[in-house]
Amino acid sequence: MVDIPLWSWQLIGAMVLNGVVQMTAVGAFAARIAGVTTKRIALSISLFTLFATASRFANLFYAPLLGTISDRTGNLVTAAIAAGSAALAAPQVQQFELQLRLIVLVGTVGTLVGALLLPTFQYMFVRGINSYQRTDSVPASLFRLSDWRVVRDIIRHIRLPNPAGWGQYKLSSVPQKLLIANTVVQAVYAIGVVAAVYASVRDPAFARTATLLSGIVNGIGTIAFTLFVDPTAAGIVDSAVHGKRTIEDVRAMVFWLTVTMVLGTLISQLLLWPATVIIDIAAKLVHR
């Protein structure tokens, strides 16, 4: 039986894209602060949605790379089962699990990078809002990113957060249910696709069903985000605009949402195996 190498360009590509997806998702939080700063809440929400959608769009490129990796291991498992010795493929399945964990780990790294670049993302959103006010066109504002002068200005304004100021972000100023919900949602998002792909490799007979179940897992995460995370976060921003809260409360919210996002991606490592088993059981129940 031919061994599959651990590293491939598809694995590296999937790792990089997942890191970009997570970094972009964190960067979208900065739109909340920019909205309060500029008093353009509706426009900031639109840009937040645009940024969040862009991060989801990157999954269109990430998923096929992950599918290629799973196909190689899945074909090997199928061949081993046909030969009457599924145990021969066990080391390759374990290696595939390691590959999946590396992809999720780079997602955590991407989240941390996004957190470090939050001041820069905030500056980009403020520039974007001001540009939209002048052009009255989102495509025209986005096209300005191709202008080297704009890119150079953004690079010049790259600022890393000052750890000395993190103590001002009081946990008490952010609803606990918001942080708990965000942690759970991010853990589900981080593990939904990879758990479904892992289940498809462990039992090739239900591979397609298991893979398609990832949409249900992520759908649940999307519904939870829409019901519990986004409205509460929007309410805090709205209160800040109307003077019921301060902009520091919004900054604290963004800070702790970022922390819980990192925590969620770390927890997802613990959820990989249980999530895989649940998806495996669900795939078999659908076939009955």
Of the chain, the end-to-end C-alpha distance in Å amounts to: 33
Q: What domain count does the chain have?
A: 1
pLDDT at 192 over 80: yes
Q: Give the position of tokens 């670049």.
A: 117
CA dist 215 → 81, 105, 128, 209, 212 (Å) = 28, 21, 32, 11, 6
Q: Could you read off the pLDDT of 14-39 as tens digits, one per residue?
A: 999 999 889 988 888 888 888 888 88
The pLDDT value given to residue 6: 87
Q: What is the pTM of this model?
A: 0.89
8 A C-beta contact, residue 27 and residue 117: yes
- At residue 112 the predicted structure's pLDDT band, cuts being 50, 70 and 90, is very high
For residue 168, being part of any structural domain is answered with: no
pLDDT at 1 over 60: no
pLDDT at 60 over 70: no
For residue 204, being part of any structural domain is answered with: yes
For residue 166, being part of any structural domain is answered with: no
Q: Give the position of tokens 């992950």.
A: 66
Contacts of 234 by beta carbon, 8 Å cutoff, 6+ apart: 45
Q: Name the most confidently modeled range: 61-70, 126-135, 174-183.
A: 174-183
The pLDDT value given to residue 86: 67
pLDDT at 49 over 80: no
8 A C-beta contact, residue 188 and residue 266: no
8 A C-beta contact, residue 241 and residue 39: yes
The pLDDT value given to residue 11: 94
Which structural domain, as residue segments, surrounds residue 60?
A: 9-161+173-287
pLDDT at 63 over 90: no
Rg from Cα positions in the chain? 21
For residue 3, being part of any structural domain is answered with: no
The pLDDT value given to residue 256: 95
Tokens of 110: 């991407």
For residue 1, being part of any structural domain is answered with: no
The pLDDT value given to residue 175: 93
For residue 167, being part of any structural domain is answered with: no
For residue 2, being part of any structural domain is answered with: no
Q: Could you read off the pLDDT of 132-161 as tens digits, one per residue?
A: 778 777 777 777 777 788 888 888 888 878
For residue 205, being part of any structural domain is answered with: yes
